[in-house]
Amino acid sequence: MNKEIDARGMDCPLPVIHTKKALESMHNGKIITIVDNEVAKENVSKLAKSMELNTEIKENQGNFYIEIFKEEPVGTTSLESLDIECGINPTKDLVILISQDKFGEGSEELGTLLMKSYLYALTEVNPYPKSILLLNGGVKLAIEDSETLEHLRELESNGVEVLSCGLCLDYFKIKDKLAVGGITNMYAIVEKMNNASNTIKL
Amino acid sequence: MKNEEMYVIVFESTHYAIAGESLLKNKGYKFNVIPTPREITHSCGLSIKFNSDDLENIEENMKYANILIKGIYKIQKIATNKVVEQIG
């Protein structure tokens, strides 16, 4: 028995839910799920993998055709255990702590440009970090008229948590100028860094 | 999938990149300092990404200020591929 699921245009996580239902109701055979984005492709692949089924993925004109082969009845799997990502860009369990408004030491002029360049590159590379924590001079990156505001906003709109240290904003007297993300304190900063599987400090 | 088009100036050296950045900033252009895209060069360089509308003006400004550039590139992102074309 073969079955086709056209999941193009479906919101996440519907392609996975439909594929899962079809797989569970089928004794043996092949299912082809058609999706139109990378995230859905990844999620459907994760589902098949968790059920220990073989897959074959073909791409054609921006659509992915995921063939899943079911040869014998398999156990069910719960969606919660799959860690389905619905963000535009999957995020990694990574926290980036930025403790100054310049990147590196040696030249302030160069450091300013490198920081702009770094934050731009961060918006271009997947997976995105989970959180960006701004501390000490780093909070200056998130205020009105900062040249990196645009990049931080882009990251935030893609699900990255951007948090500035409130005490630091106070110290520089720029609390009223914060233009992206939220305000946090040292307890939250410690928790976030301790709980992350990886922390990068700039 | 989002298809994007961007224009990038690559400079002869980092010092020219810094000079170019401050020139465009003083003139009030909207642009971004970005790491030179890997499709253009693998070395670690700084480049400037700008709006297509400003192409001619920016090119003129660089020439007038004697800021040496390696080239101006148009980069098109089609799905996950990048197509690079040198235009100046």
Is residue B29's pLDDT more than 50? yes
> Which tens digit of pLDDT belongs to each residue from A167-184?
899 999 999 999 998 998
pLDDT confidence bin for A66, thresholds 50/70/90: very high
Q: Say whether A113 and B17 touch across the interface (CB within 8 A).
A: yes
Do A71 and A30 touch, CB atoms closer than 8 A?
no
Write the ipTM: 0.72
- A117 near B CB under 8 A: yes
Do residue B35 and residue A120 have CB atoms under 8 angstroms apart?
yes
Task: Supply the pTM of this predicted model.
Answer: 0.64
Which of A8, A89, A116, A153 best probes binding to B when mutated, by most B CB atoms within 10 angstroms? Answer: A116
- Of residues B46, B49, B79, nearest to A113 (C-beta): B46
Cross-sheet strand order for the sheet of B81-86: B31-35, B46-50, B4-11, B69-78, B81-86
Query: Is it the case that residue A102 has pLDDT exceeding 90?
Result: yes
Taking the Cβ of residue B9 and every Cβ of chain A, the question of whether any pair is shorter than 8 Å is answered with no
**A37-56: per-residue pLDDT in tens?**
888 888 898 888 888 888 99
B-chain residue closest to A111, CA distance: B18
Q: Which chain B residues contact residue A121 at CB under 8 A?
A: 34-35
- CA-based nearest residue to A97, from A1, A191, A3, A2: A191
**For the stretch A61-73, what's the b/e string if a residue is b when 16 or more beta carbons lie within 10 angstroms of its beta carbon?**
eeebebbbebeee
Pairing of strands A161-165, A94-98: unpaired
Fold category of B4-86 in CATH: Alpha-Beta Plaits (3.30.70)
- Tell me if chain A has a CB within 8 Å of the CB of B44: no
Please report, in angstroms and rounded to a whole number, the separation of the first and last CA atoms in chain B: 28
- Looking at the complex, does the CB of residue B13 fall below 8 Å from at least one CB of chain A? no
pLDDT digits (tens, 9 = 90+) for B8-22: 999 988 889 999 999
Tokens of B14: 């980092």
